[in-house]
Chain A
């Protein structure tokens, strides 16, 4: 593809590759049934291992299971926080719902990518699952910029592909899940 501008992969952005955030707790009140119920309903997973405790105990897992990927959705807004949606739209009445909502001020967040590319699209995912979190587990995550590359689109515009790796462990340090999420910034 023919570029129609300067590279967006600056030295400042390259320097972020490998940068890690602090390990931080992502659970608000630990892994709990109501959150699990809502999640499995939304993903349309009717597995009784997620809600029938007696049956779940009879399986190889020995307890109610949660989808392995569930740990990635625990980083929700704590009630002590200001409402991020209201704040985002106060700051930008045409917010896309992401800009200003997800900020780097959260514990463990990676530094923002210094770019004027603001539109975000999911590019791909990798997921490794090792253990289902147990009810009551506190879950801790550690983020890392796994890689940042650049691509030139068909129209010659530059875009970044940002891959963030997150490792999830429970309160005992047991590895639960590793994800790598790639997104386009264009």
Chain B
């Protein structure tokens, strides 16, 4: 994952810089630990025991271990896309499914591959296929998103962001 200083000094990726099929720089997160999961549950007041109570998770719910929270995953993905867009782009939308569990010990690669790009209203829209893949190559969270990158010499991306009309 990027450091504070890398995010502070990040150079802009422009719409012109990306091509369909390109892999954007990934995040590597982990290995995840029960403490990471517990901290997340406490921070957002998610008391579901499958995230911090191993006995309950295994013996009551029949799960292999405590599980990383869907809410954590849904927070990491927009963060990753936001960081790709910094300093002046916009991570507009993302959707994904929870296909496999993330458990303590897993190391996760968060990724985005460009699947389409188009200009609309003078802005550069980039569609990406997203993933959160564990060390065994299982994409736990396949999805897709749309980010908006500045076009070189083009207009500034509005903030607050205004979605283009369909």
A contacts, CB < 8 Å to B = 38-39, 41-49, 52, 55, 59-61, 67-69, 72-73, 76-77, 84-85, 88, 94-98, 101, 119-131, 174-175, 180-181
Chain B interface size, as a band, is 35 or more
- Residue interface mask B1-22, A partner, CB < 8 A = 1: 1111001100000000000000
User: Do residues B8 and A124 form an inter-chain contact, with CB atoms below 8 A?
Assistant: no
Interface residues of B in 35-50 (CB under 8 A from A): 36, 39-40, 42-45, 47-50
A126 to B144, CA, bound (A): 10
User: Are A128 and B93 in touch, CB under 8 angstroms?
Assistant: yes
Report how far A150 CA is from B159 CA in the complex, Å.
Answer: 39
A42 to B72, CA, bound (A): 9
Taking a contact as CB atoms under 8 Å apart, the answer to whether B91 and A41 are in contact is: no
Residues of B within 8 A of A (CB): 1-4, 7-8, 29, 36, 39-40, 42-45, 47-50, 53, 56, 60-61, 69-79, 82-83, 86-88, 90-98, 143, 156, 159-163
Chain B residues with CB under 8 A of A46: 1-4, 7
In contact, A129 and B161 (Cβ under 8 angstroms): yes
With known contacts A46-B4, A46-B7, A125–B74 Cβ distance under 8 A: yes
B95 to A124, Cβ gap below 8 A? yes
Whether A43 contacts B72 in the complex (CB less than 8 A), given A96-B50, A129-B78, A131-B159, comes out as yes
Residues of A within 8 A of B87 (CB): 59-60
| A96:B75 contact, CB within 8 angstroms | no
Q: A96-B49, A122-B70, A130-B163 are in contact. List 8 more A-B contacts (CB 8 A).
A: A43-B79, A47-B82, A60-B156, A95-B49, A96-B56, A127-B74, A131-B161, A180-B95
CB distance from A134 to the nearest CB of B (A): 11
Flag if B161 contacts A47 (CB, 8 Å): no
B143 neighbours in A (Cβ, 8 Å)? 124
Identity of the chain A residue whose Cβ is nearest the Cβ of B2 in the assembled complex: A46
Most chain-B CB neighbours within 10 Å: which of A84, A129, A181?
A129
> Would A42 and B44 count as touching, CB distance under 8 A?
yes
CA–CA, A67 and B77, complex, Å: 11
Q: Is B78 in contact with A69, judged by CB distance below 8 angstroms?
A: yes
Enumerate chain A residues within 8 angstroms of B50, measured Cβ to Cβ.
96-97
- CB neighbours of A84 from chain B (8 A): 47
Q: Is the CB of A122 within 8 A of B71?
A: yes
4 shortest A-B CB distances, which residue pairs?
Answer: A122-B70, A131-B160, A42-B43, A126-B95
